[in-house]
Amino acid sequence: MKIALGVTGCIAAYKAAELLRLLQQRHLEVQVVMTRHAGEFVAPLTFAALSGRKVITEMFERTGEASSNIESAIEHIAVAQSIDLLLVAPATANTIGKFARGMADDFLSTLYLATRAPVVVAPAMNCEMWDHPAVQENIASLRARGVRIVEPDEGYLACGMIGQGRLAANETILNAVAEALRLKNGLAGVQVLVTAGPTVEDIDPVRFISNRSSGKMGYALAEEAVRRGAEVTLISGPTTLQPPQGARWVSVRSAAEMSAAVHKHLPEAGVVVKAAAVADVRPSKRASSKIKKSQLPASLDLELTEDILASLGKKKGKTLLVGFAAESGIHLQAARQKLLSKNLDLLVVNDISEKGAGFDVDTNHVQVIRADGAIRDIPPMSKAQVAEKIFDEIVEMIQKTSSRHEPALMTK
């Protein structure tokens, strides 16, 4: 995720350097935008070195020649469209006034008007300035417009006075950023664990028992969670699919390996989506070398694998648990029974006997059942779109529940 960090001309400008570092530690890509006056307090080079990218200080390139490069000429629009959030910290009374009145005489104020991303403003100024009705009116009008204001702290000010005006603590600003991103993307900073694909249960080094799961639904879910800003771990059985960019990919083979990996990552997960088609049974014995054809048994001794979903249900704590059921024919009553018996929050049921749904195909038709009994039919559509609808449900459930899914981005 990308944010623009606006830095304006006040003593607290140096604090933005530490803030930049903390934002980066939380895996946010940061584009720094400085007002010309901010450059009087901290050199742009400091932010360029820390962010590893050019700092935007000017609306118009000062190359000596009129720019014929359309990309750089409309940079404010490009930045405005690419960011997930605009944070201005510290924000001067002047910049706040410009935002409130819609003035756009430099890059930062133009960016504010051009972006539709959420905006967080952390003011810093002398306490008399902060208390001034003009500033308070501007703050009120920004608030009314949905801008998140991180109120300045009380204390000793650089001017020697005591009062409200100090830039809020980094922790408070980071929490406001996390909250705004979470509301925008639904899952910013939430740890999401997705399982996908089949498992493979070996009979000997060349023969195995498995199923026809392609992993496409699980991979689409992992991609959607990444897109919404989650920190995603994808635990996958063998598939031919490329690991999604931005997700941590854990490759497993058997049900036992999948179970171990899932339980290992469970403690940090806010959401677990179990889309893998885990083999129900495995050979009781695995031969260490290839069994000769003449010695192949007429029948195989099988044993049940662990029911990973059920064991997760027992120890999920506050984690939101989503299960999948691939059935020949949808029997909602039986599905609801499964949801309750396994202590799931959401069950996604698909009818694999239906054309264009289930394994091996790029589309799916599912019903989503919530623990409270609500059922939603998601008509046939691509697996990517189904993933989007499923995460709409998940995000809605997260937002309804308490602080249990507080993003990791939040400082403790």
Ligand X SMILES: Cc1cc2nc3c(=O)[nH]c(=O)nc-3n(C[C@H](O)[C@H](O)[C@H](O)COP(=O)(O)O)c2cc1C
What is the spatial distance between Cα 182 and Cα 231, in angstroms, rounded to a whole number? 12
Least Å distance, CB 60 to ligand X, is: 16
Least Å distance, CB 162 to ligand X, is: 15
Q: Which of 74, 113, 140, 159 is flagged as catalytic?
A: 159
Residues that bind ligand X in the complex, under the rule CB under 6 A: 8-11, 35, 37-38, 92-95, 124-125, 129
Supply the DSSP symbol for 198.
Answer: B
Q: Which two tokens stand for residue 184?
A: 């925008």
Q: CA-CA distances (angstroms) from residue 80 to 120, 144, 188, 288?
A: 14, 21, 19, 59
User: Toward ligand X, which CB reaches closer, 126 or 239?
Assistant: 126
What is the spatial distance between Cα 236 and Cα 241, in angstroms, rounded to a whole number? 10
User: Toward ligand X, which CB reaches closer, 11 or 169?
Assistant: 11
Nearest residue to 409 (alpha-carbon basis) of 25, 4, 6, 147: 25
Strand pairing partners for 322? Answer: 273, 346
User: Toward ligand X, which CB reaches closer, 51 or 92?
Assistant: 92
What is the spatial distance between Cα 279 and Cα 199, in angstroms, rounded to a whole number? 6
Strand pairing partners for 88? Answer: 6, 121
3-state secondary structure at position 366: strand
User: Toward ligand X, which CB reaches closer, 105 or 360?
Assistant: 105
Contact indicator for 2, 83 with CB cutoff of 8 Å? yes
Contact indicator for 103, 109 with CB cutoff of 8 Å? yes
What is the spatial distance between Cα 373 and Cα 378, in angstroms, rounded to a whole number? 16
Contact indicator for 171, 20 with CB cutoff of 8 Å? no
Strand pairing partners for 202? Answer: 208
What is the spatial distance between Cα 204 and Cα 83, in angstroms, rounded to a whole number? 52
Strand order in the sheet with 375-382: 248-251, 231-236, 191-196, 271-274, 320-327, 346-351, 363-370, 375-382
Count the helices and strands in the chain (H runs, E runs).
14, 19
Least Å distance, CB 272 to ligand X, is: 46
User: Toward ligand X, which CB reaches closer, 136 or 341?
Assistant: 136
Residue 159 known to be catalytic: yes
Cα atoms found within 13 Å of the Cα of residue 60, Cβ hemisphere only:
6
Q: CA-CA distances (angstroms) from residue 129 to 16, 114, 119, 152, 303?
A: 21, 27, 22, 12, 75
Least Å distance, CB 97 to ligand X, is: 8
User: Toward ligand X, which CB reaches closer, 39 or 380?
Assistant: 39
Which residues are part of the catalytic machinery?
A: 159
